[in-house]
Chain A
């Protein structure tokens, strides 16, 4: 469905995208997982023919796609990261306008607008101006516009940013639904859980390069010899983390809110050492979980940085 080869883009000195390649088969959901500024938006802007490339190639169904291409672009639906809709037009008018740009015949457009309003749950607000919508409703309309012309490939750029957990779940559900209906999806995010939940395959992107690619399981294999120990704790967590880093067999230590994540080669061997080191640092432990490494750990391992800001 989509194939990107060696995409490159620089802004002045900064190589925002530095040789990114990936491909998405029909009906497949592919995730680009990376932190802020990794080059996700820049990569997909080139993939959908919105932005000029400095180098590389984009093929849609085997045909080359460039910014000047017209017809081929109709196979792609774009949901930009920043809201892209007209605040002074109603939900229905927004949908109709973009539908006409995709040359949809009148009758089919009307039907499809109603369908999409149903999918995004805005049927009862269809004739209200977009600037009267809540943030979550605007997000859903933003997604609806990308879906409207029934593209074969839907490209979503962090569609759940700034959305409350309930709406977020609704959005993820409808994307899962679309994926299962045979739509190819390109999904960017910096939320590991979203990538794990939605994507058949994931590319881990950082500083403009894809560091690793594969299914969730394949990526976890990178750290297959390792265990992840998650310690819920209170007290001087950062001091405790320092102490853990000195223990043999401990590969990574990551402090989050109220917890310390530790990547170790063999949990059984180091667990006692970990607990006593924390105890000595004055950290009190409220819970211990041992798991296989998650994408967060893989990401940290590959890039040396955390996914979170």
Chain B
């Protein structure tokens, strides 16, 4: 154990002298998190509010979900101001802004014509109108997107009803069948499908955490690959000829990697919190997740590096693995929103489990991160088992 600590202390001294680690471990993730946070900060940011004039001439059953559900929801969240208009003409006039309400710029008008619900329900073509203010392109585009999204949902329900009616008219009359249909079709008011992992993580925290994990794999790699470096410099032969057990060499490298990973994560968490305003959540839960994630990063990178013969090869292999896993794991963008295969595939990476754990922590209590922690530890056990098996040969030339 003493020799392991001695080796780790020497490694850390070397790493601290090597400036590239500061870039990889701290500057790059912090800088990118700041940039991503600005660029991708979406409508949920409190600074952004759009003002829409709404003319609900229809007043029918299919207008309500749009007006009260979608738009009402956004208004409640503080992202949208709604101004009621009595008629299509009034709404249009508001957008074109004759100076009547100079105190308030209207970004777009959303008009629901009188026979909208009726036409949709009877399967005839219906229309929703959006009048955009040429001066507020972003907010106006948002209005269009919301309305188009709603129209698509209606279309879908509509399509399902007609298909069922065409092929199995009997089922339409059957109450249970209709209930089943209702349950199986998406709710019309769902504009965006935001699933569990990011529901509770705000944007800044998501990018901060995502990039921190992404670069964590590069950071621990400095410790892991130092074994290959010892070989490159010939010093591994001295370690092997010294009166120390061989496992203490491995343990020393693991301690180095752990130290580098934990310190860089700690600095990143503190920095993103204070500088960028990220909210990582319950410290005990975060600590648990960070330790488990760091362990899994070491295991995975050790496995990859054990496949390499030289330290150059080790660096190439680890970079490919770190970038690939980082992207699949959704550290750059919320891949789970892409849906389908990609959304499930991400769980083959520790990154996704770490972000999932943080999401669970933000949305619930510390007990909710158990699956994520268990998954991360499983990654650690499997990958380090393989790594040790491969290294055993390397350490016994």
Q: A interface vs B, CB < 8 Å?
A: 45, 48-52, 67-68, 70-74, 76, 78, 80, 82-89, 93, 97-98, 100-103, 145
Contacts and interface: CB of A to CB of B under 8 A. Distances in A.
B243 A102 contact: yes
B124 interface: no
Contact of A71 (B13, B243, B246): B243
Contacts, number: 75
Given A50-B397, A52-B396, A71-B243, A98 B238 contact: yes
B396 A86 contact: no
A89 B10 contact: yes
B189 to A, nearest CB: 61
B242 interface: yes
B239 interface: yes
Contact of B242 (A51, A82, A87, A98): A98
Given A80-B238, A85-B235, A72 B243 contact: yes
B242 A73 contact: yes
A86 B6 contact: no
B76 interface: no
A80 B237 CA distance: 8
B235 A52 contact: no
Contacts of A80: 234, 237-238
B175 interface: no
Given A49-B241, A70-B245, A85-B233, 10 more contacts: A67-B240, A70-B243, A73-B243, A80-B234, A83-B233, A83-B234, A88-B18, A93-B13, A100-B3, A103-B2
B192 interface: no
Contacts of B101: none
Interface in B212-243: 233-235, 237-243
20 contacts: A48-B241, A49-B240, A50-B237, A50-B397, A68-B245, A70-B245, A73-B241, A78-B241, A80-B234, A83-B234, A84-B235, A85-B233, A85-B234, A86-B235, A89-B13, A97-B6, A97-B10, A100-B6, A101-B244, A102-B243
Contact of B397 (A52, A89, A93): A52
B243 to A, nearest CB: 4
Contact of A51 (B7, B13, B397): B397
Interface string B386-397: 000000000011
Interface string B1-24: 011001100100110011000000
Nearest to B14: A88
A84 B234 contact: yes
Interface residues of B, number: 24
A74 B243 CA distance: 6
Contacts of A48: 241
A88 B13 CA distance: 9
A101 B6 contact: yes
A70 B244 contact: yes
A88 B242 CA distance: 21
B242 A67 contact: no
B240 A84 contact: no
B293 to A, nearest CB: 29
Interface of B: 2-3, 6-7, 10, 13-14, 17-18, 233-235, 237-246, 396-397
B7, B241, B242, B244 interface centre (most CB from chain A within 10 Å):
B241
Contacts of B234: 80, 82-85
A49 B396 CA distance: 10
Given A86-B233, A87-B233, A76 B241 contact: yes
A101 B14 contact: no
A103 B397 contact: no
A11 B306 CA distance: 21
Q: State the 4 A-B residue pairs at the shortest beta-carbon distance, nearest first.
A: A84-B234, A73-B243, A74-B243, A101-B242
A76 B234 CA distance: 18
Contacts of B238: 78, 80, 84, 98, 145
B11 to A, nearest CB: 10
Contacts of B6: 97, 100-101
A12 to B, nearest CB: 14
B289 to A, nearest CB: 33
Nearest to A74: B243
Contacts of A50: 237, 240-241, 397
Contacts of B244: 70, 101
A50, A89, A102, A103 interface centre (most CB from chain B within 10 Å):
A50
A50 B13 CA distance: 26
A88 B18 CA distance: 8
Contacts of A145: 238
A287 to B, nearest CB: 43
Contacts of A87: 233
A88 B17 contact: yes
A76 B237 CA distance: 13
B226 to A, nearest CB: 10
A70 to B, nearest CB: 5
A151 B176 CA distance: 89
A68 B237 CA distance: 14
Contacts of B243: 70-74, 101-103
A237 B70 CA distance: 100
Contacts of B240: 49-50, 67
Contacts of B13: 89, 93
